[in-house]
Structure 1
Amino acid sequence: MFNRSYSESSESLNKVEISAVSSYVDIFMNDLKRNILSLYNPEFEIFKYDTYYSYVFHDTNIIILENSSGKITNISITDYNDFIPIILFENFKELKNLPVRLERLKKLGHERFRNEIKDNLMYQRIQQNEKTCTALWIDYGIEFVIGDSLQLLQKE
């Protein structure tokens, strides 16, 4: 009656109907909610526009969770190229009297600078300052702000 093997049958699958996705979400709703809540990072939470934005720094991207009135209302993803704009490097190049390591970063270019910022965000060496809604690069005492477009910018 069944002439096809399991592997042949599964290889022919290449689409999922919306109804199946909806059923999946219904079945696993509580697990999905717990997973979303577990992503929330109170260690890097910025308040803007009557909303808290929680940043979760991963190797290839940043997950941003929006918290309004104690509820997560949106989840978005951005990459480090958008979050750490070239203008940040351009402003950084103008700083004087930097430690030797940072002076070297100026010479290595914006990609190396971006990777250094990324690594420091991932390993929590750039931390949120709750009192000023800024981010502080602990090792060097350099402050950043999260701009209107939710990008990392140098504090003026």
Structure 2
Amino acid sequence: MWWLDLEGAVHPFDRERFKPMTEPSAAVWMTVEDDPAWLPDEALAHVEAIAIEFPKFTDGRPFSLATILRARGWHGPLFAVGHFLLDQLDYLRRCGFTGFAPDPERYPYETLCELGPRLLRVFTEPYQASSAVPQPLWLRVRRDRAEQPVSEIEV
């Protein structure tokens, strides 16, 4: 299995490194049945990486789990693993995922290398606030266009 980072590079994904939340580990494996509240803040402080399993691409609960973890203040590597579509990379990133390990039967290594980096560049500047970008675009952009005469504004 392979994973794609935010820069578009592809790396081997070590599934064995991640352990269920019930086992002490620096790398935690979460399923949609897990409640992030089961991981107390003290334990979360010692976690180095979290992987959230997508059991099927129509299940949106992993998006919620990622958002909850980021809202709790966890800033470490967060991997989406399993049955999601590469078309969803922007949504995954906006929920706080920093690594993407899709089902290798659907997306073999060659496909991930070819499509992954390109799909990460489709949406470069989101309008809405999210876990990854807490401020909406209108708060992040300089607004001096309003001071220019309409004839000088490039469209």
Bin the TM-score by the shorter chain. under 0.3
* TM-score (norm. length: structure 2): 0.21
TM-score by length of 1: 0.21
Name which one, 1 or 2, has greater alpha-carbon Rg.
1
Which has the bigger relative contact order, CA under 8 A and spacing at least 6?
2
